[in-house]
Amino acid sequence: MNDSVFPLAVLLAVVNRALVDYLSAPIKQRFPDHDLWYLVYVAFVIGGMIGWVSSVNLFSLIPGMPLVLGRILTAACIGGGANLLHDVAKRRSDTLPEPETP
């Protein structure tokens, strides 16, 4: 993961959260009993668009990874929020289990 763009990705995730909260406030005010279960998906889509348009790529240092795939994964991480980005950063040094041989 590219450490130089990680703070930018976190900032974009926080901006995404603030934007979704701001846009959903009138709905919550007008319909206080309305279940807003879908907001997580709205945040994911808006954050994905923010991440794509900003051209941030957290995975640019992975050899052989296509640029488009890195940008798509980064956009998904931004859409998932700062907690998802934190989990990805925390687990980046975890060792992967060895593949089992049949």
Helix H, strand E, coil C: the string for the chain is CCCCCHHHHHHHHHHHHHHHHHHHHHHHHHCCCCCCCCHHHHHHHHHHHHHHHHCCCCCCCCCCCCHHHHHHHHHHHHHHCHHHHHHHHHHCCCCCCCCCCC
Average pLDDT over residues 83-99: 74
Predicted confidence at residue 3, as pLDDT, reads: 65
pLDDT (tens digit per residue) in 79-89: 888 888 878 77
Q: What is the pTM of this model?
A: 0.76
pLDDT (tens digit per residue) in 16-31: 989 999 999 999 999 9
